[in-house]
Chains A and B, each alone.
Chain A
Amino acid sequence: EPEVTQTPSHQVTQMGQEVILRCVPISNHLYFYWYRQILGQKVEFLVSFYNNEISEKSEIFDDQFSVERPDGSNFTLKIRSTKLEDSAMYFCASRQARLGYTFGSGTRLTVV
Chain B
Amino acid sequence: GESVGLHLPTLSVQEGDNSIINCAYSNSASDYFIWYKQESGKGPQFIIDIRSNMDKRQGQRVTVLLNKTVKHLSLQIAATQPGDSAVYFCAEKIGGGNTPLVFGKGTRLSVIA
Task: Name the interface size band of chain B.
Answer: 20 to 34
Q: Is B103 touching A48 in the complex (CB atoms < 8 A)?
A: no
**How many A-B contacts at CB < 8 Å in the complex?**
53
Q: Whole-angstrom distance from the CB of A61 to the nearest CB of chain B?
A: 11
Q: Which residue of chain A has its CB nearest to the CB of B104?
A: A42
A50 near B43 with CB under 8 A, answer no
B103 CB contacts on chain A under 8 angstroms? 35, 42-45
What residues of chain A lie closer than 8 Å to B100, measured between beta carbons?
33, 45, 48, 56, 58
Counting contact residues on chain A (CB < 8 A from B), the size range is 20 to 34
Q: Say yes or no: B98 contacts A41, CB within 8 Å.
A: no
> Residues of A with Cβ closer than 8 Å to B?
4, 6, 31, 33, 35, 41-45, 48, 50, 55-56, 58, 91, 93, 100-106
